[in-house]
Chains A and B, each alone.
Chain A
Amino acid sequence: MFEVRFHGRGGQGAVTAANILAMAAFKEGYHAQSFPFFGVERRGAPVQAFTRIDEKPIDIRMNVYSPHAVVVLDPSLLEIINVTEGLAEGGTIIINTSKSPADYDFNYKIATFDATSIALAHKLGSSASPIVNTAILGAYSKAIKNVSIENVMLAIKERAPAKKEENAMAAHEAYEKTILGWEK
């Protein structure tokens, strides 16, 4: 079983990202489960969402406590919460940032990508509030590889509430541009 935790801010679409990832994994032939942190969501407040991916049906229904990967939609969250909490040894952190993996000092595999500029290039959201949740799935596909970019794009087209093509293209561009810190 592979478990993923998304960190975002209310309104950024972390929950939708977790759902689309589950959908893409399902298309890949896996069993999948996704859910929001069962909380009261307010715009701008830190939120979490989760995806589980497995080869066999997923029976457990408790929160994710030790994810294999964390996806950070908003780099400002790195200063206020410990995004690595419970992260399994050898786990991966995927961060939406204009910085590169070498700029971070985590004892984990780090992948970075600039979802904000990709989102703006594809006219997704505004500069004050870019929609980055589809681009990050492209980065996820590049970094984790258990879900192909093709299935990510298909899932986005099926599940994105608007601008399906633009969102799918943003994911593709993120896939191309993601920097994997562990590949020199």
Chain B
Amino acid sequence: MPVPCRRGCGKNAVLKRPKTGDALCKECFFWAFETEIHYTITKAELFNKGDSVAIGASGGKDSTVLAYVLKTLNQRYNYGLNLMLLSIDEGITGYRDDSLETVKQNRDDYEMPLKILSYKDLYGWTMDEIVAQIGRKNNCTFCGVFRRQALDRGAAMLGVKCIATGHNADDIAETVLMNVLRGDIARLKRCTAITTGSEGTIPRVKPLKYTYEKEIVMYAHYKKLVYFSTECVFAPNAYRGHARALLKDMEKIRPACIMDIIYSGETMSVKEEVSLPTQRTCTRCHFVSSQEVCKACVLLEGLNKGLPKLGIGKSSKAKRMLEEYNAKQAENEGTLKDAIKDLNDTSSIVARNERISGKKKSANKENNDTCNKNDCCGRSCKSNPSNVDPVTSNKKLDMLLEQFGLDDKESVKQKLNGVCDTNEDSSEVTPFNEQEEDDTCSASCGGSHIGF
């Protein structure tokens, strides 16, 4: 039986909003969805008139919808923003290469300039190469830490006033849970802020902070937006997955709990006597850090020295690792000199990397077990790549339609029966949503600094 649209426009509703339970027709949904984001942007004063804004674009649903909605609202309400797309190429075969094609499509469709920065150029390593070193665990730490800095670098190059990211309500709620599980009080405190960034850094804003992932998927679907919907081939082992699983289970019981968790995060305060790390700049790369040397530099150093686990876990462990490494190096005077030269010479990362690629072989031997794992399930197994069309095989969307769509179209139903299995949604990971918090060993976990 058709359900009439709650706004009384006379049309039949196509979906039930998960946040409030109201049923809306397609047109009213578009309008409500956009108006809410407009409200958030203006009430929280995310932008100033005339600002240049970089949209962190991954090609996934969140950033695609963000780019589309910002473009629409910018025109409708005269924000006077100069919007551009900023993408990071992590170098993940079978995932990022395909999604970047989608971003290029967005660039053409929305007529925005696009800047792509790659890990290879910035750090001398692609994620494929990093995973070959570190194995299937902890790799999201590298990706997240590097992406965060890469976005900063890109934004600085573009000369923008702020970076808008596609974090949605689900992501934020998930992050709150994850920070509690990991005991990361500093991030717990700031993760629900709609604007983040201290003085001297380029602020990041989250216009979709109060927008449900489900509605984003529905919006993209009904608007027929082109986006990329494959899960990152390396993501399944991330710790974030636990928080995600819990949130999905809770959402089934009480859909509003996502907003409740965000509200909890917003109203909770941290005891005064708890010491929190202070933000400063890294002594090596001069980007934001809570330590003397930032996480990105520690991780990179580890990679370049053939100690990929250097930045993973407690900093005391890292110190020990470095000592052992240095002792080993001391045996060979020549290599030591080489290493010192490496350390002093930060400008020629790529050249160094070429030299190091020779060393990598020996490093591989040290990490024999991780590499074995990697051979069987790592780079060789790519998920079915490049499905740019959101309609043909997006299981998640089908599931959402089944749950929340009050579908009046018989065809959709048939498709649902055919395609949608009752398995858990293999929810795609939106890459730009992990940058700040996925760093599984927080930079704040140890008070001591690592010096090289």
Q: Are both chains from one complex?
A: no
